[in-house]
Amino acid sequence: DAGVTQSPTHLIKTRGQQVTLRCSPKSGHDTVSWYQQALGQGPQFIFQYYEEEERQRGNFPDRFSGHQFPNYSSELNVNALLLGDSALYLCASSIRALGNTIYFGEGSWLTVV
Amino acid sequence: AQTVTQSQPEMSVQEAETVTLSCTYDTSESDYYLFWYKQPPSRQMILVIRQEAYKQQNATENRFSVNFQKAAKSFSLKISDSQLGDAAMYFCAYKRGNQGGKLIFGQGTELSVKP
């Protein structure tokens, strides 16, 4: 049983560019959340998707957008990249009806230069 | 707004000894979950243990146990018989008890284990 998988694992982008990160949830999970973790800090919630809709959003600008597909996989898009967007982006999956089990992927390291 | 505070940026323990990591949280909710996650250098967030707020009994998972003090809003993690592989960043996290919902993390405690 595959866990949460994310791609790519590492990438370098130039300021002003756009990036797309991908996540496949754990088998049987229907909810995907994205978190940003800057170096030396705890993860910060970006948004959550369920039934292909954004259900909850953290304090992130509109440059951050996402999508969930019918197979529950998800994408995180960031436009007009800033140096401050450099971080580890973590995807977490869960079963919406069960609030107490949340699994994370290995993350995507984004460096903006 | 809910907050999670970990007041120990770094902790150190001798191999085979016991260490306790502290966490406090603030919420006005009665239904919520608390978690401890381990993040090794690989950076993957690994669930260590979880506690449902409605359960009075403290959760235990092998060498890991929690001391959940609901009135004091305290949720500490005890690691017994510490092993070298326990060295990592540990994050305390809170989640409201509704369906879905986000995790709110503390700033983390970096645990080192001395051989």
Asked whether residue A1 carries a pLDDT value surpassing 70, the answer given is no
- What are the residues of chain A with a beta carbon less than 8 Å away from any beta carbon of chain B? 31, 33, 35, 37, 41-45, 48, 50, 55-56, 58, 88, 90, 92, 94, 96-97, 99-107, 109
B97: nearest CA in chain A? A99
Per-residue pLDDT of chain B (115 residues; tens, 9 = 90+): 789 999 999 999 999 999 999 999 999 988 899 999 999 988 889 999 999 999 989 999 999 999 999 999 999 999 999 999 999 999 999 998 866 779 999 999 999 999 9
Among candidate residues A97, A99, A107, A94, the one with its CA nearest the CA of residue A25: A94
Q: Which residues are B24's β-sheet partners?
A: B5, B74
Q: Is the dihedral of CA A79, A110, B46, B92 positive or negative?
A: negative
**Whether the Cβ atoms of residue B105 and residue B51 lie closer than 8 Å to each other:** no
Q: Which run of H or of E encompasses A80?
A: none
The partner residue sitting opposite B97, judged by closest CB among A56, A92, A99, is A99
Q: Which residue out of A23, A72, A100 would a mutagenesis test of the B interface target, given it has the greatest number of B Cβ atoms within 10 Å? A: A100
Q: Which of A57-61, A65-69, B26-30, B80-84 has the lowest mean pLDDT?
A: B26-30
Burial A41-79 (b: 16+ CB within 10 A, else e): ebbbbbbbbbeeeebeebebeeebbbbbeeebbbbbebe
Mean pLDDT, to the nearest integer, of A23-37?
Answer: 95
Measured distance CA(B20)–CA(B5) in Å, rounded: 15
Q: Which residue out of A48, A57, A102 would a mutagenesis test of the B interface target, given it has the greatest number of B Cβ atoms within 10 Å? A: A102
* C-beta atoms of B43 and A96 within 8 A: no
